[in-house]
Structure 1
Amino acid sequence: MFMREMAQTDKPRERLQKKGVSSLSNIELLAIILETGSKTESVVELANKVINQYLEIGELKDATLQELTQIKGIGLAKAAKVLAAVEIGKRMGQQRIIESPIIRGPQDGANLVMQEMSLLSQEHFHCFFLSTRNRLLHRETIFIGSLNSSVVHPREIFKQAMKYSAASVMCFHNHPSGDASPSPQDVTVTKRLKKVGDLLGIPLIDHIIIGNNVYTSLKQEGYF
């Protein structure tokens, strides 16, 4: 059975299009890779049978061509697609580990953003989301515009922190004037973020102001 022959509500590709890839189950994701079923099984049923051969989806990473082709309905072409998808996942994971730096302090953070943020003509509020071992999980510009408590809302920052399962947050913003001295508003925003972070158990470990090839760590300067 081809995917186009399935009932509309059973089609993983249509569900992906309507609800996003993250809404799909492991079986549906594998069904998209397999594309077609067999003479006696739909593609979803075939995907379910493949996954049932393993205790959990993660064990597919060790699957071999011989193992897969021994499953009824899985020939060389389907097995090759599965192994190719698994290998892509492995390589993406390896690359992320290699490319994700460890942020040991404000100097490490400033080194990563200085070249980019010191040239900006408008204020940008940028965040690093870090693991328990201070490895960079994700980085993102959260706000653009003059820094004030109405613009820099903790909700948006810590929503992203929870999305990436971050253990801590390091924040940055630039001063287009080139002067990295903190303003009273900078200090107010920082204290507010620290308070929310402490309540959520995702501490703000620093807020760094980027100037013209200089920076100021509000943590090191004792502002919080």
Structure 2
Amino acid sequence: MSIRDWPAEQRPREKLLNKGAASLTDAELLAIFLRTGVAGQSAVEMAQQLLQRFGSLRALLQADLQEFCQAHGLGSAKYAQLQAVLEMGRRHLTEELRREQSFTSPDAVKNYLLAHLRDQQREVFACLYLDSQHRLIHYEPLFLGSIDSASVHPREVVKAALRHNAAALIVAHNHPSGIAEPSRADELITQRLKEALALVEIRLLDHFVVGAGQVVSLAERGFC
């Protein structure tokens, strides 16, 4: 049976318009993105099959071009559309963070960092440069690889903060393992950064560790 023959309240598009996007299942959301199914399958049935193939919606969104195009009914055009949707989501979060008082809205910062860092396959150390009202000036990945006292250079962080005329800083890095628990090395580099930035009167507001679906604040643990 075609989706057009379903009762109106069961059609994904109508359901979204009447009840909001949050009311839809992963398969229904994906079906709206797909727009049409393939021979013998509605868009919802195709979406359900894709979610089974990849294991989850997030795994589908993380797939590279080759893996994505191996799925029946998908191709480079759909991949390009999906990447555009993801990037629009990231830019929306950026604009939201720029409107917020970032230090008084930790949820906005955490959502922003999850969007940028949780799916990275290697460790990325990033800086959020803030103005005097703690609004975002610029986001910048600064170091790649294992994050420890040898690979994160406080002098480079200070130089970058001065270049962006930042009044305050939030730093963050991801754990590709998916576990967001800070290590002893994370605590030590946080203290070194705090001391180095203080010399040029720039405040380190927080150091976030990003896992698969969790973000841990070192400030909340007393390290900033």
TM-score range, shorter chain: 0.5 to 0.7
Amino acid at match of 1:181: E
Of residues 96-105 and 198-207 in structure 1, the stretch that sits farther from structure 2 once superposed is 96-105
CA distance 1:112–1:101, shift in 2 (3 Å): farther
What is aligned with 2:98? Answer: 100
Per the alignment, in what secondary structure is the counterpart of residue 121 of structure 1?
coil
What is aligned with 1:211? Answer: 211
What is aligned with 1:175? Answer: 175
Any conservation in 2 of the 1:106–1:217 contact (CA below 8 Å)? no
Any conservation in 2 of the 1:106–1:206 contact (CA below 8 Å)? no
CA distance 1:222–1:99, shift in 2 (3 Å): closer
Deviation at 1:151, TM superposition (A): 1.1
1:200 maps onto 2:200 in alignment = yes
Deviation at 1:109, TM superposition (A): 1.4
Any conservation in 1 of the 2:96–2:108 contact (CA below 8 Å)? no
Any conservation in 2 of the 1:106–1:208 contact (CA below 8 Å)? no
Q: Distance in 2 between matches of 1:223 and 1:98?
A: 27
What is aligned with 2:220? Answer: 220
Number of matched residues? 129
TM-score (norm 1): 0.54
Deviation at 1:113, TM superposition (A): 1.7
What is aligned with 1:83? Answer: none
Unaligned 5+ segments in structure 1 are: 1-95
Deviation at 1:156, TM superposition (A): 1.2
Write the deviation string for residues 7-27 of structure 1: whole angstroms up to 9, x where unpaired. xxxxxxxxxxxxxxxxxxxxx
CA distance 1:148–1:134, shift in 2 (3 Å): same
Write the deviation string for residues 62-100 of structure 1: whole angstroms up to 9, x where unpaired. xxxxxxxxxxxxxxxxxxxxxxxxxxxxxxxxxx99983
Deviation at 1:182, TM superposition (A): 0.6
Q: Distance in 1 between matches of 2:112 and 2:118?
A: 11
Any conservation in 1 of the 2:97–2:108 contact (CA below 8 Å)? no
Per the alignment, in what secondary structure is the counterpart of residue 185 of structure 1?
helix
Write the deviation string for residues 90-142 of structure 1: whole angstroms up to 9, x where unpaired. xxxxxx99983331343221111202311111000010000001111111000
Determine what percentage of the aligned residue pairs are the same residue: 36
Q: Distance in 2 between matches of 1:165 and 1:122?
A: 29
Amino acid at match of 1:196: A
Runs of 4+, deviation exceeding 3 Å: 96-99
Deviation at 1:202, TM superposition (A): 0.4
Any conservation in 2 of the 1:209–1:216 contact (CA below 8 Å)? yes
Q: Distance in 2 between matches of 1:97 and 1:141?
A: 18
Q: Distance in 2 between matches of 1:128 and 1:120?
A: 17
TM-score (norm 2): 0.54
Unaligned 5+ segments in structure 2 are: 1-93
Mapping for residues 70-149 of structure 1, pairs under 5 Å = 100-102=98-100, 103=102, 104-149=104-149
Output the aligned Cα RMSD.
Answer: 1.9
Q: Distance in 2 between matches of 1:119 and 1:215?
A: 13
Q: Which has the larger radius of gyration?
A: 1
CA distance 1:212–1:159, shift in 2 (3 Å): same
What is aligned with 1:35? Answer: none
